[in-house]
Structure 1
Amino acid sequence: MDERVREHAEVLVDWSARVEAGDDVVVSVAEAAHELGVAVAEALGERGATVTTLYGSDELSRAYLKGAEAGVDGNGDGDDDNGDGAAADNAVPTFDDDPAVDRAIFEAADVYLRIGGGRNTTATADVSSETRQAYAKARKGVREARMDTDWVSTVHPTRSLAQQAGMAYEEYQDFVYDAVLRDWEALADEMAQMKAVLDAGEEVRIVTERDDAPDTDVTMSIAGRTAVNSAASVAYDSHNLPSGEVFTAPYDTEGEAFFDVPMTIDATRVRDVRLVFEAGEVVDFSAETGEEALASVLDTDAGARRLGELGIGMNRGIDRFTDSILFDEKMGDTVHMAVGRAYDACLPDGESGNDSAVHVDMISDVSERSRMEVDGEVVQRNGTFRWEAGFEE
């Protein structure tokens, strides 16, 4: 076993999840992530935790959802009979909206570790958007129970992810471990400066200018919110490894935003997204490619047309886009905004933020001809923060 796999497991268990003796830990392991799963199980055993293992397979999920479509399709084949993109005329399955067994697993858990790394990054591409929406809505209770644990998501470098990133497998392994095996305490100290700015602020404005694409000029309120210093540890209300972002829960968004970083939504490549906000809600949108997938997300529920997150990427150890939101949204010189669910960690006690069955991030490169203002003061210009060398007033 590559020694870096064991180091990854140790960072996940000790720094990220802060697992202690006696903790009940649920570990979901993807098809091609077996090696990291083994290293994590060994580390959990050494620390005296109790482990329940789940098989996190996208191919298994596809089989279930396609079977559910076939079960309500009069032809029994789940095919698109009308050519309209749906599985079949009115053939949207109904799922149990309170799956008690799944919910009970997470309600009993102290920690949930998700180890991604499937064999096919588009395994569910032929499942209809209507079916995916219905399934997401039905599992809202399970999702909430899972998020009430000390949960952390990471990924094992696989050949499918390397291919999606356009990299050789060995090159991708180096990329992942460079992003994961970091001095997280030092990065946390650096990001604390951005958190302090957002915590003290009331309004954020982001402006970008481009010759070959729409400009961005969007404002949002952050008054009363608490920013999260996402330093890859539950101790920082951070739940991804790698991480390296500062995020908050905006509201009352106005203006237009353009996202030029390609992404995959529901197994569909989406590129060059434009969102127009009025009174906090998306009132118009477009995408150069994947517009139907974007529309499906925005139509999920009322909260899917409002922002749940503004994030600022600060992990300069991530040096390229890989079509993986786990890495791309953390990259330095980027900002991202997510439509859908807001995270409770950003909200005052007793206040409910934006509620939705989805949380979908979209990313903008802000390395050139851009600025971010907080209460009218420029805190980042062309990707450089005001406390960094080279910042231009």
Structure 2
Amino acid sequence: MDDRIIEHAHTLVDWSARIEAGNDVVVSVDEGAHELGVAVAEQLGDRDANMVVTYSSDEMDRAYQRAHGEEFATDPEYEHALYDRADSVLSLRGTRNTSAGADISEETQTAYAQAREGIREARLDTDWVSTVHPTRALAQQAGMSYEAYQDFVYDAILRDWEELAEEMSQLKELLDAGSEVRIVKDDKTDLTMSIENRTAVNSAASVAYDSHNLPSGEVFTAPADTAGQVVFDVPMTIRGTRIQNARLVFKDGVVVDIEADAGEDVLRSIVETDGGAERLGELGIGMNRGIDRITDQILFDEKMGGTVHLALGRAYEACLPEGESGNQSAVHVDLITNMQREGTRLEIDGEVIQRDGYFRWEEQFEG
């Protein structure tokens, strides 16, 4: 076994999930992530944790949803109980076919997501962490050789997370103290949103930081009162469909217009899922410079230094004041815009804190 897989498992169990003896851990293993699953199982056994393994497969999900009607059981109790009683859920993603769900109807996918909203909430109430094991399908999607893709993945994951957390704390402090964020990119992107009374999350790949992805390397918060327009120029595959150059217009916090060069129908279907899907639940700012290219995998792409992502749908409670529920939805779908372009800027309360993709504390920043 590649030593990097063992190091990946060690980082996941110790730094990210903070597993201790006696913890009840659910490990969800994708069909292509078997090797990482073996390494994680060994790490959990070494720490005297308790483990239940579930198998996850995009092709099985496709077969089930296509054969089923659109009346799915809402929050099945047997699955709910598994997450209700778990301390941690480790999701080891590694698909063998990135387009496995491309021929599931939008109506079926929406109905399935809505029926499972409670299951999603139960999982998110645990110390959950999601990570990716490199597969040939993911390498192909990224347009890379398998060996090069492996190097890319481990460069993003096997980092000095404490050092990156310290750097990202500078942005968290600015967001916590701010009231309004503005994103300006070109004549098609000028978006403002309120962040007043919000708490930003320093997403340093550990539940100790309210961070649940490995790799991570972003600072995110929950915006409100969004106004203006934004173009997402980073192509993404969502629900098995390619989304390209999506343009959203917001008024009074709600999406009022949608355009896209490709995948517009899918995007409209997402926005129409429920009332919360037409509002933003997240503003995320990528800061992981170990991610140096777009790979069509949201777990990596949204963390890339010099990008900003906005999520339609559910807001994370960690960003909200106590007692405030925030934006609720059955979906949380991220869209990315690349700020590494001349003339772009990210402002907090009128002050430029990032220009052309570089923060003011980076040597490349030009004030």
Shorter-chain-normalised TM-score: which range?
over 0.9
Match of 2:175 in 1: 198
Aligned pairs for 1:319-358 within 5 A? 319-358=292-331
With normalisation by structure 1, the TM-score equals 0.92
Q: Deviations over 1:211-261 (max 9, x none)?
A: xxx521000000000000000000000000000000000000000111100
Deviation at 1:384, TM superposition (A): 1.1
Gaps in structure 1 of 5+ consecutive residues: 70-92
Q: Deviations over 1:131-177 (max 9, x none)?
A: 01001000111111000000000010000000000000000000000
Rounded to whole Å, the distance in 1 between the matches of 2:359 and 2:65 is: 45
Deviation at 1:387, TM superposition (A): 1.4
Rounded to whole Å, the distance in 2 between the matches of 1:235 and 1:388 is: 26
Rounded to whole Å, the distance in 1 between the matches of 2:123 and 2:308 is: 27
Corresponding letter in the other structure for 1:218: L
Q: Deviations over 1:44-74 (max 9, x none)?
A: 00001000000011111111111104xxxxx
Aligned pairs for 1:209-288 within 5 A? 209=186, 215-288=188-261
Match of 1:55 in 2: 55
Deviation at 1:118, TM superposition (A): 1.3
Match of 1:186 in 2: 163
Match of 1:174 in 2: 151
Could you list the runs of 4 or more consecutive aligned residues of structure 1 that deviate by over 3 angstroms after TM superposition? none
Pairing 1:25–2:22 present: no
Pairing 1:374–2:348 present: yes
Q: Deviations over 1:334-386 (max 9, x none)?
A: 11111100000000111011000001111111112200110111100101111
* Count of residue pairs the alignment pairs up: 366
Rounded to whole Å, the distance in 1 between the matches of 2:340 and 2:57 is: 36
Q: Deviations over 1:27-47 (max 9, x none)?
A: 000001100000000000000
Pairing 1:362–2:339 present: no
SS of 2:250's partner is strand
Q: Equivalent pairs: percent with the same residue?
A: 67
Rounded to whole Å, the distance in 2 between the matches of 1:158 and 1:239 is: 21
Rounded to whole Å, the distance in 1 between the matches of 2:278 and 2:110 is: 15
Corresponding letter in the other structure for 2:278: R
Rounded to whole Å, the distance in 2 between the matches of 1:224 and 1:59 is: 43
Rounded to whole Å, the distance in 2 between the matches of 1:199 and 1:118 is: 37
Match of 1:142 in 2: 119
Aligned-residue Cα RMSD (Å) equals 0.7
Deviation at 1:105, TM superposition (A): 0.3
Match of 1:75 in 2: none
SS of 1:357's partner is coil
Rounded to whole Å, the distance in 1 between the matches of 2:147 and 2:153 is: 10
Deviation at 1:98, TM superposition (A): 2.6
Rounded to whole Å, the distance in 1 between the matches of 2:358 and 2:46 is: 43
With normalisation by structure 2, the TM-score equals 0.99
Aligned pairs for 1:62-101 within 5 A? 62-69=62-69, 93-101=70-78
SS of 1:103's partner is helix
Q: 2:359 aligns with which of 385, 388, 392?
A: 385
Corresponding letter in the other structure for 1:375: D
Match of 1:126 in 2: 103
Gaps in structure 2 of 5+ consecutive residues: none
Query: Computing the radius of gyration over CA atoms, which structure comes out larger, 1 or 2?
Result: 1
